[in-house]
A and B are shown apart, each in its own frame.
Chain A
Amino acid sequence: MATIASTKTRSSTNRPLSIWLAILVGFLLVGFYAMAQVLIKGLQVTNLSDRVPWGLWITQDLSSIALGAGAFTFSAAVYLFRVKRLEPLARAAVFIGFLGYTSAMLALAMDIGRPDRFWHPLVFWNVHSVLWEITWCVILYSSVLVMEVLPLLFESRFFDQWPWLRNFGHRIHRLTPVLALLGMALSLLHQSSLGATYGVLSGRAIWFKPSLPVMFIISAVAGGMSLTLLATILTSKLRQRPLIPESTKREVARLVGYILLAYIYIKLWDWAATSYYSHAPGTASALEILQATTPYTTTFWWIEIIMGGIIPAVVLLYQPFRRSDRALVAGLGLIVLGVVVNRWNVTLSGLVAPPNWSPGILGNVVAASYSPTLIEITVALGILAYGLLGFTLGARYLPLYAHESPHLSTGN
């Protein structure tokens, strides 16, 4: 702690920041301990089972990737489509995306049974598997994110002693438009494929629908943009100085509001078409099980739809609310929460209400259940702490916002 606070800071010791960093490092260390337990003892330390093989970590993996979607959205908007008004947020978005994707990889490394074989999808191909495509896209896109973040990293004062590195960073930075294009293509593929992971499973009635990939990408774009703006507003409050123009803030908020409206509209029709107006036996029985024995119906309507969708849409689109930073923070925070709860609900609802294959009437009426163990939660908090620590240090030592570095403009 002391080293971070004392090296190369103009300000003297910043007490609240030190305490915050100490808390995060604490969570990180406990998280490392839990991760070691997972690697030593295997996945028996989780509450996952053969009926519910995916749980908290997959939710974290899906959420981190979705909330990292701000990176490709802002990169494409600024460096490809040249929407200059959004440029003040682009670098922060890329940095958050980098943290999101690395968090996702950490969660996945914990979740797979054989982390030593993580490279297998690269060598042994099954082009029919959505997950194979996702693995490739995520690995390639993470490389793109590294290339986008490196120039930013080399810009920090720490690298003053190695000008050639900074020079190298600038060379990479010239590739930005190409990287933005690649990043957009890869993200448009895998962000929606993550929904298709569930959407293509014909044996699972409440998942099997073409709307899942579409809803995943739209919610990812809304969530990713929200997190970028939320982190920026909070940083600017804590550092007590404006980091982006007010107009950019309001414009992004309004844009997110409209994307959210589109999402709610698609969601409405998804619900209407798959359950309200139709009565497909598989879907109906799965939804009945969910309603009767689990909280998923309640959390869907209250947290996903009302708290994560309708309320923030009103906040972001009604001007008097949008003008208030406090309302904005609340609205954006609710969207982020909504995305996380959505990923949890999608994953768990399909697993907890299993398909009925027995020819009898007793066999499959029982819903499976799952709640994470302390170790699962500790690992997840450790990974979250990594992300928060990364952003805190980045916001303090890297030129995440335009006015802090004159060097790294897009060049025209």
Chain B
Amino acid sequence: MADKRFSKKGKNKTTILGRRDVLKIAGATAGAAVVTQVVTKGPLSAEAIQGIGAQTHPHQGSTEHEWHMVIDLSKCIGCYYCVRACQAVNNVANDDMRWNIVFPEQTENGTDFFMNRPCQHCQDAPCVRVCPVGATWVRPDGIVAMDYKRCIGCRYCEVACPYDVRRFNWKMPESENRFVPKWGESEVDLRPRGVVEKCTFCVQRIDRAIELGLTPGVNRGVSPACVEICPVNARVFGDIHDQNSPVSKYMQEHPTFRLREDWGTEPKVHYVRPEKENV
């Protein structure tokens, strides 16, 4: 029987690995070496990871600009206009999918204020690090972008993000948007069910601005919707590399802080304290 022949062959082998096995292992090792080379030096190097999605996305921004936002908590009156404009422009009909949230808060001294929280666009973003398919990345201009076509919906980014900015499409998104047209026109497509989405700093506007030679944060129509609609100018946006941009100027004039700097995430959203500091 074949079984017998097999066991005899087995008996003759005194070593654990036969010659053929050694060859196989050698082959596998060589293969692994090639893979390692590709990973470390080839198209999938650490630098390339930052630029993942470059092929699928025409606009990547450039290192020339780096987009930052300042939110002045001492100015915010809690009108929620920014929340609604965001929902209209970014096609977020469902209230529990809000990318930009505002809620009543209180300081340790008992002063009431309204906390605002868009995506923090961390330079060292925990969500980008953990995504198993590279569906989210930090663009050269600092915006944390998403590729909805690549996302598998594992939600590890939601688990990793300590600021709770990410939203998963638990169901088919609603196309009926009660904020349109009152608060703006939808500028981006609906995302499919089963993928994660988040605030993009209205990246479609920024890319258009660069194309048209306009300046986001200064020109109307090309700044984030929340910044443009704010009736008290509590939100300021612009290029941190430009000394004269609104954001640079505001930061020179006001002391700012970022949320949980101790995490080392390097957010690009800066806050002015709700209480004027007595200096």
Q: Residues of A at under 8 Å CB distance from B?
A: 41-44, 46, 48-51, 53-54, 80, 111-114, 117-118, 120-121, 124-132, 134-135, 163, 166-167, 170, 173-175, 177-178, 197, 200-204, 350-351, 354-355, 357-363, 407, 409-412
B194 at the A interface (CB under 8 A): yes
Q: Which residue of B lies closest to A347 (CB)?
A: B159
Query: Chain B at the A interface: mostly helix, strand, loop or mixed?
Result: loop
- Tell whether, in the assembled complex, residue A358 and residue B132 are in contact, meaning their CB atoms are under 8 Å apart: no
Interface centre among A46, A203, A350 (most CB of B within 10 A): A203
Cβ < 8 Å to A, chain B residues 71-117: 73, 96, 103-108, 113, 115, 117
Segment with Cβ contacts to A, from B203-211, B223-231, B238-246, B259-267? B259-267
Known: A42-B170, A126-B131. 9 other contacts (CB 8 A): A114-B195, A128-B130, A131-B131, A177-B21, A350-B159, A354-B164, A358-B105, A359-B73, A412-B11
Chain B residue contacts of A44, Cβ below 8 A: 170-171
Chain A residue contacts of B168, Cβ below 8 A: 43, 50, 53, 113
- Tell whether, in the assembled complex, residue A203 and residue B132 are in contact, meaning their CB atoms are under 8 Å apart: no
How far apart sit A409 and B9, CA to CA, in the bound complex (Å)? Answer: 12
The range of chain B's interface size is: 35 or more
Beyond A126-B132, A127-B39, A178-B17, whether A167 also contacts B2 by CB under 8 A is: yes
Q: Which residue of B lies closest to A128 (CB)?
A: B129
Chain B residue contacts of A363, Cβ below 8 A: 103, 105, 115
How far apart sit A46 and B180, CA to CA, in the bound complex (Å)? Answer: 30
In the complex, what's the smallest C-beta–C-beta distance from B186 to chain A, in angstroms? Answer: 22
Query: Chain A at the B interface: mostly helix, strand, loop or mixed?
Result: loop
- Tell whether, in the assembled complex, residue A118 and residue B265 are in contact, meaning their CB atoms are under 8 Å apart: no
- Tell whether, in the assembled complex, residue A177 and residue B16 are in contact, meaning their CB atoms are under 8 Å apart: yes
Interface centre among A44, A117, A163, A361 (most CB of B within 10 A): A117
How far apart sit A300 and B277, CA to CA, in the bound complex (Å)? Answer: 44
- Tell whether, in the assembled complex, residue B106 and residue A360 are in contact, meaning their CB atoms are under 8 Å apart: yes
- Tell whether, in the assembled complex, residue A113 and residue B155 are in contact, meaning their CB atoms are under 8 Å apart: yes
The 29 sampled A-B contact pairs (Cβ below 8 Å) are A50-B164, A112-B152, A113-B169, A113-B194, A117-B150, A120-B135, A121-B152, A124-B134, A124-B150, A125-B39, A126-B49, A126-B131, A129-B130, A131-B154, A167-B2, A173-B6, A174-B6, A174-B10, A175-B24, A177-B21, A202-B263, A203-B260, A359-B73, A360-B105, A360-B113, A360-B274, A362-B105, A407-B3, A412-B11
How far apart sit A166 and B158, CA to CA, in the bound complex (Å)? Answer: 48
How far apart sit A80 and B160, CA to CA, in the bound complex (Å)? Answer: 38
Chain B residue contacts of A54, Cβ below 8 A: 155, 159
Q: Which residue of A lies closest to B161 (CB)?
A: A203
Pick the contact of B133 from A126, A358, A412 — CB < 8 Å?
A126
In the complex, what's the smallest C-beta–C-beta distance from B58 to chain A, in angstroms? Answer: 18
- Tell whether, in the assembled complex, residue B11 and residue A411 are in contact, meaning their CB atoms are under 8 Å apart: yes
In the complex, what's the smallest C-beta–C-beta distance from A411 to chain B, in angstroms? Answer: 3
Chain A residue contacts of B46, Cβ below 8 A: 128
Chain A residue contacts of B162, Cβ below 8 A: 201, 203-204, 355, 357
Q: Residues of B at under 8 Å CB distance from A?
A: 2-3, 6-7, 9-11, 13-14, 16-18, 21, 24-25, 39, 44, 46, 49, 52, 73, 96, 103-108, 113, 115, 117, 126, 129-135, 150-156, 158-164, 166-172, 192-196, 257, 259-260, 263-265, 271, 273-274
Chain A residue contacts of B274, Cβ below 8 A: 359-360
In the complex, what's the smallest C-beta–C-beta distance from B147 to chain A, in angstroms? Answer: 9
Beyond A360-B115, A361-B107, whether A126 also contacts B52 by CB under 8 A is: yes
Beyond A111-B154, A203-B265, whether A131 also contacts B132 by CB under 8 A is: yes
- Tell whether, in the assembled complex, residue A41 and residue B171 are in contact, meaning their CB atoms are under 8 Å apart: yes
Chain A residue contacts of B126, Cβ below 8 A: 201-203
- Tell whether, in the assembled complex, residue A53 and residue B132 are in contact, meaning their CB atoms are under 8 Å apart: no
Nearest 9 A/B pairs, CB to CB? A113-B153, A203-B162, A411-B10, A113-B194, A360-B105, A53-B155, A126-B134, A131-B132, A132-B132
- Tell whether, in the assembled complex, residue A113 and residue B39 are in contact, meaning their CB atoms are under 8 Å apart: no
Chain B residue contacts of A46, Cβ below 8 A: 170
Chain B residue contacts of A175, Cβ below 8 A: 21, 24
How far apart sit A125 and B2, CA to CA, in the bound complex (Å)? Answer: 44
Pick the contact of B153 from A112, A359, A361 — CB < 8 Å?
A112
Beyond A170-B6, A197-B156, A359-B259, whether A42 also contacts B132 by CB under 8 A is: no
Q: Which residue of A lies closest to B171 (CB)?
A: A44
How far apart sit A53 and B21, CA to CA, in the bound complex (Å)? Answer: 44
Q: Which residue of B lies closest to A82 (CB)?
A: B16
Q: Which residue of A lies closest to B153 (CB)?
A: A113
- Tell whether, in the assembled complex, residue B273 and residue A202 are in contact, meaning their CB atoms are under 8 Å apart: no
How far apart sit A151 and B117, CA to CA, in the bound complex (Å)? Answer: 57
Pick the contact of B132 from A135, A351, A354, A355 — CB < 8 Å?
A135
Q: Which residue of B lies closest to A350 (CB)?
A: B159
